[in-house]
Structure 1
């Protein structure tokens, strides 16, 4: 039976020419995180220099033959991931079922779900991967993110994206073609509203802050903001604006080159963590070697995956967001195997 995956055409644009000139080995020695991020409960759990951590993309299970996951065990799987040593739970922003795209994510709204998960779990980071900011009012995003940060004791990571499904934009009366510009504007408004008191910030596509009102709550220390995908931004923006970058459709041979490019375009002092997402099919035979298809669909046994991911860690990769949609095995069995066989090799 053929595994039903989302339409991968939007995920697999060839970006190889962007990184041809960079050296293969990562050149991040001497670069450091800002102290606020190095001490942040969620950020420091997910992004650790020299280590590789693992997150799970909701609904944390396989649903290979349908765009609609069965969610009766959603809470149980989130708690199993927390107890099993995973670094993060990632929530996608999929407002509609688009038959042409073929995947509904975790179905539930990401902010509502993030609040629910913070009450269910103890240590694991809760992140969005990512909020489609051109389809949302950025000040509402800021309010929701800061609220979850406060309620979770700093376990929230705000990942933001520009969106990749044109069919959704008319429903929100938004222009698909200018989403890159609106993404940057929304990012700046969210940053300003969550960082400054009685802020001043103008915008072309959204509202204006005039310094006469303040948004509460403010994050306990800092609100980590992560770029999810390219978001149609240039590499210099990715190197200097977000606190970390999580991509998809990455050629595994180019991980070191990507990291070098970002380091070279940065300020020369700040370490920019880089991770990526894959669809993963965990096979029954733990010794089955891992093989990558379409730069996004990875299949192999647990031990084969360990060997594959060890190579990625050696290139400087620090986080993997695993989407288990293609996996046909029972969800609890898969999470247990990953917790017992894979995670200890990277602890």
Structure 2
């Protein structure tokens, strides 16, 4: 593994793209007015919002890999192809880490994944976290002429290609360019592997959203097979203006204000989680207003090297 910038941050907070609230009540109204299918976000302000996240000090921007939009799943993620989008994001941001959550390895040629990841590392000044997965949407596999049942083996083979820095499979003089140092390779779920194999071969775990209690159990498993390698998860957040609003739980996240979010993140940290990505698609309030408030009143409780303080009592 190369130098893992996320691991060096301690507990940190990032964002999951798209930075849209198309799953909120107002977002649904706008989506129908724009004649977008469910799960297809409005990307009109995507550049401005990710630049804002960078400027506000969120640690990481996560993009998903959804090769095929399927209405049966109802989520197009951030619409754009993941590596192409990361190349663009590398050019418009300065500090925010760029993570994939996660590239579906069995549907991609592993040597081209390696070249694409190397390219993003070079263009972003080593800000890539390459999250990978075996995929969980069976309808994608026939289109790519890949046997769904073989995805575990294909995943292992691709990991071997990506992690091999010796060029042992290339002929003399051949190279995958640009050549970059090894980068952190995280995995979403178990990717059809045993926990022991994942802990030995991958550098971090992208865990599905859950409660702090859920993460306590998962972190215990992760630490038993992977030691202190990063454990990452996400919160689907509906952030409201009342700072003292109690925590209301919904699927994959919470509805709350500033102090409730601080409480939830503190519980995540205590459970052993190393990083949380905030997902705003259920957020009824303005995405920009929510990110600004979180940056001003929440991030200083968790991110080091900042002198901001919470003014809410």
RMSD: 1.8
> How big is the shift at 1:243?
0.9
* 1:48/1:318 contact within 8 Å kept: no
C-alpha separation in 1, matches of 2:115 and 2:190: 24
Q: What corresponds to 1:239 in structure 2?
A: 199
Change (3 A) 1:47 1:289: farther
C-alpha separation in 2, matches of 1:339 and 1:128: 22
> How big is the shift at 1:67?
1.1
* 2:20/2:42 contact within 8 Å kept: no
Query: SS of 1:90's equivalent?
Result: strand
Of residues 246-255 and 144-153 in structure 1, the stretch that sits farther from structure 2 once superposed is: 246-255
Aligned residues: 290
- 1:139 is matched with which residue: 100, 103, 111? 111
User: Is 1:73 aligned with 2:40?
Assistant: no
Q: What corresponds to 2:236 in structure 1?
A: 279
Q: What corresponds to 1:218 in structure 2?
A: 179
Structure 1 unpaired stretches of 5+? 1-33, 38-42, 201-208
Query: SS of 2:76's equivalent?
Result: coil
C-alpha separation in 2, matches of 1:95 and 1:63: 20
Taking CA–CA contacts closer than 8 Å with sequence separation of 6 or more, which of the two structures ends up with the larger relative contact order?
1
Structure 2 unpaired stretches of 5+? 29-37, 304-313
Change (3 A) 1:323 1:211: farther
C-alpha separation in 2, matches of 1:151 and 1:128: 16
C-alpha separation in 2, matches of 1:88 and 1:187: 23
C-alpha separation in 2, matches of 1:230 and 1:287: 37
Query: SS of 2:254's equivalent?
Result: strand
C-alpha separation in 1, matches of 2:122 and 2:285: 36
What TM-score comes out, normalization by structure 2 length?
A: 0.87
Q: What corresponds to 2:246 in structure 1?
A: 289
- 1:62 is matched with which residue: 1, 21, 42? 21
* 2:104/2:134 contact within 8 Å kept: yes
C-alpha separation in 1, matches of 2:76 and 2:12: 25
1:167-246 equivalences in 2 (<5 Å): 167-192=139-164, 195-196=165-166, 198-200=167-169, 209=170, 213-219=174-180, 221-246=181-206
Query: SS of 2:87's equivalent?
Result: helix
C-alpha separation in 2, matches of 1:146 and 1:285: 44
What TM-score comes out, normalization by structure 1 length?
A: 0.79
> How big is the shift at 1:282?
1.3
Query: SS of 1:54's equivalent?
Result: strand
* 1:62/1:326 contact within 8 Å kept: yes
> What's the CA shift string for 1:67-98, capped at 9, x where partnerless?
11111111110111001110111111112221
* 2:163/2:182 contact within 8 Å kept: no
C-alpha separation in 1, matches of 2:114 and 2:240: 40
1:67-106 equivalences in 2 (<5 Å): 67-106=39-78
